[in-house]
Chain A
């Protein structure tokens, strides 16, 4: 197993749906499983939805900051983005307030065939595009290294506190999202293959004693 400490400068995990002019574009309180999976795929330079194996994740610490950043959102429309003849507003652009967390400290654990890919990435031996992010592209991962899990890690586990996207899929004509409901817990829940691992909890104390 690879246990990763992942630090990010900021995080916005958009709840899907349109946001009107001057409204708040809310964020999930933690990166959803789909987002973490995407980060792992980007880390190792592999395509979207190519991850194989299992991963678990949570917060080592609560985010250090929280705020709402004003942004001009370009709204996708079939007619494109055209300026209006008069007036200050451009058609297709809305001012929205983006809910953002700051100074995030994640724990991400990986088991299975991708452990070696992760090791290769941390050694700088993968070819990939862009800068590593967790969230939007501007939510840059500022540090990632291998470190043992801590007793303080609050792992994402099945529960009823929050709904998070577990899979982004392609519907008939658009990208859709499938949700699960989750909570924070003291021991990790493993996402991914093989099927039926939802009850396979790992005792964190064993990680310390056995040096996994």
Chain B
């Protein structure tokens, strides 16, 4: 059994999921579509944000973002060993099984070190997050920022370091799919992840660019067959920021695919997103328990 969730977010000022800089312009990650240039929040960055939220909620994670310098590497991660100590190198903390931790059962893991079979040590994940695509084309907006150089110049002054960053005020849409059968080996992990979707700090969100990606509308369905979630609405979706979310494209999309069993919650709906998430957790727990009792 699978759970597929489609999400259309509240408007957010996207200026954090950066691509590579062009000179002193911090760019956004974009994709060229028939409808113009659309901004992307990658599935990787959404998963990173979910993992961050799960850590704050007390999930038992293999990879954590740490403060103690002796336990973390230069990316800020520390990996759990069997003794409970955290180490900076994942190669020194290879899990025995993906079921050992809440993040490994959901997202999988790969340690880029050759094991006994001369291959990387890895386990595929059971939750996949699509790239989030903006519902409006990027129109070229930038903002001017003023930084300071870290070091003084030879005459003792500290120079200004002006830069610009691309901004795009938009909604995003993305989907999440979970294989409940395989997650049932560690069922307590899934609720942490689903509740994290209520508010995600995607793409850095440092002090100057704090924003949270929150769902305005969610739509979901449980389905037995793989690949039949059907709730990804595509890069051509056009939903403006200054109006309520129009669900006509969702209805038309599902009608086209013959999907009739999806549910909707959020702004303007009978059920709130938070209520919907709890409902999904309850049903998912039932499905996972059923799977365990059958096997």
Contact = CB atoms under 8 A, between A and B. Distances in A.
A137 B226 contact: no
B113 A102 contact: no
Give the interface size bracket for B toward A.
35 or more
A142 B112 contact: no
A138 B62 CA distance: 20
A132 B226 contact: yes
Given A43-B227, A131-B127, 6 more contacts: A65-B31, A70-B18, A74-B112, A77-B112, A87-B74, A141-B227
Contacts of B120: 76
A128 B2 CA distance: 11
A82 interface: yes
24 contacts: A10-B130, A64-B235, A65-B235, A71-B44, A77-B113, A78-B113, A84-B74, A88-B74, A89-B74, A95-B20, A100-B131, A102-B235, A103-B33, A124-B225, A130-B125, A131-B125, A131-B126, A131-B128, A132-B226, A137-B124, A140-B128, A141-B227, A144-B225, A145-B228
A1 interface: no
A144 B29 contact: no
B227 A6 contact: yes
Interface string A4-40: 0011011000000000001000000000000000000
B225 A121 contact: yes
A71 to B, nearest CB: 7
A95 B118 CA distance: 24
A207 interface: no
A123 B231 CA distance: 18
A97 to B, nearest CB: 7
Contacts of A205: none
Interface of A: 6-7, 9-10, 22, 42-43, 64-71, 74-84, 87-90, 92-93, 95, 97, 100, 102-103, 121-133, 137-138, 140-145, 173-174
Nearest to A124: B224
